[in-house]
Structure formats: structure tokens, C-alpha cells
């Protein structure tokens, strides 16, 4: 709830024509799963989504954290609407990776968190900007990546994408820290928790 409360406070300070950037990282659902008390009693009484014994049945604690996150996002979107900020505010919802082992399923994909299969990398991505993105409920038939978010935001704001230095695709901050960036390991797929 503290994430939501801080977002609400920030949004209440914004005026209709102010430009602002708000980045919200809910830490749920994430291990360790801790029950959110306002939602746990409903979650305990929730009916299974399916009777299929092969399907993952989510714990009441897991359901409660999903409900808490959903309620928080709902409060933020509702405030944008009541403050009449929703018509010129781009909202992006996405995840960083697929589900953790034992906490979720990535069907129909293979793999999960820390996997390079689609189950670890293909996640929901929702863009909301009434009258610009849509129509509501539309499902584009193309893939995006989180690296597409920055140029998409620039385009939505009418800002040209900055050009890289001549003959060098890396940003200048790598040069400024005195590191030989051509020798950097850019991805480490080692499972540090095993």
C-alpha cells in the first residue's frame, strides 16, 4: 500500500498541464509471498480457476498480493481520471520477467524467470492513452521489448530520438567512467541462488 500512497500523493501535486514522469515498481507478486491482510479472507474463499489436477493452484497469499497490486493500480488510474489527467498521460504496464518457480505459470510458453525461453521473457505489456493508443481492449499482433519503451515515450512526447556518436553505438557515459566497455559482460545468466 505504501507504493500506492506515495503515487497518490505525487499525482495530487500535479496540475493539469504539468509534465511529469512516475515510475512505479510494485514488488508483488514476488517471492517471498506475504499475505496482504485486507485481501486474504476473500483469497482463502476463492474458488480454483480449474479442476484440472495438472494446473497450478495459487495459494491464498499469492492471490492476495495480486489483488493488492490490482487495487493499487486501480486507485492510481482512478485518480488520473478524477483529476482529468488520463487524457494526456501515457500509462505503461509491464513485467520484468516470467513467473518464479512454483508461483505461476507461463503457458503456453516453455521456461520461467531466469530462463531465456519465452516463458521467462514474454510478459504482458499494456499501453493506455485514451484517444491515442487503442481502441480499448485491442491486442496488437506484434512483439515489443522493454528496450522499445524509451523510443515509444519519446515519440509520444514528440521528441526526436537522440543520435549516437559517430561510429560508436555506445553512450558517452561508458567512456567517462574509464572502463573498457568492449570487454564488459553484458548479460550474466548464472543462477546465483542454486
**Could you say which residues of the chain have pLDDT below 70?**
47-57, 164-194
| pLDDT at residue 72, rounded to an integer | 93
Alpha-carbon distance of 48 to 45, in angstroms, equals 9
| pLDDT at residue 73, rounded to an integer | 93
What is the phi-psi region of residue 77: left when phi exceeds 0, alpha when psi lies from -120 to 50, beta otherwise? alpha
Question: Hunting for cell 498521460 — which residue is that?
Answer: 89
As a whole number of Å, the end-to-end CA separation of the chain is: 32
88 is written with which cell numbers?
494526456
- Cα dihedral 62, 64, 68, 74 sign: positive
| pLDDT at residue 176, rounded to an integer | 44
**Taking the model in full, what pTM does it have?**
0.74
| pLDDT at residue 75, rounded to an integer | 95
DSSP assignment of 19-43: ----------S-SSP---HHHHHHH
Alpha-carbon distance of 32 to 40, in angstroms, equals 16
Residue 7 in contact with residue 22, Cβ under 8 Å?
yes
Cα torsion through 106, 107, 111, 115, rounded to 10: -40
Dump strand ranges (E) for 35-148. Answer: 91-94, 125-128
Amino acid at each position: 500500500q505504501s507504493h500506492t500512497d506515495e503515487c497518490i500523493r505525487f499525482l495530487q501535486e500535479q496540475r493539469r498541464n504539468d509534465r511529469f514522469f512516475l515510475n512505479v515498481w510494485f514488488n508483488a507478486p514476488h517471492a517471498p509471498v506475504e499475505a496482504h491482510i485486507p485481501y486474504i479472507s476473500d483469497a482463502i474463499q476463492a474458488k480454483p480457476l480449474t479442476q484440472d489436477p495438472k494446473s497450478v493452484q495459487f495459494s491464498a497469499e499469492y492471490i492476495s498480493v495480486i489483488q493488492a497490486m490490482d487495487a493499487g493500480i486501480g486507485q492510481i488510474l482512478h485518480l488520473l481520471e478524477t483529476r482529468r489527467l488520463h487524457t494526456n498521460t501515457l500509462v505503461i504496464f509491464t513485467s520484468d520477467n516470467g513467473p518464479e518457480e512454483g508461483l505461476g505459470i507461463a503457458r503456453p510458453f516453455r521456461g520461467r524467470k531466469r530462463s531465456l525461453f519465452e516463458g521467462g521473457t514474454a510478459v504482458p505489456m499494456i499501453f493506455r492513452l485514451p484517444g491515442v493508443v487503442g481502441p480499448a481492449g485491442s491486442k496488437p499482433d506484434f512483439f515489443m521489448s522493454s528496450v522499445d519503451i524509451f523510443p515509444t515515450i519519446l515519440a509520444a512526447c514528440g521528441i526526436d530520438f537522440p543520435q549516437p556518436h559517430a561510429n560508436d553505438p555506445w553512450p558517452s557515459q561508458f567512456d567517462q567512467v574509464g572502463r573498457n566497455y568492449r570487454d564488459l559482460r553484458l548479460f550474466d545468466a548464472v543462477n546465483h541462488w542454486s
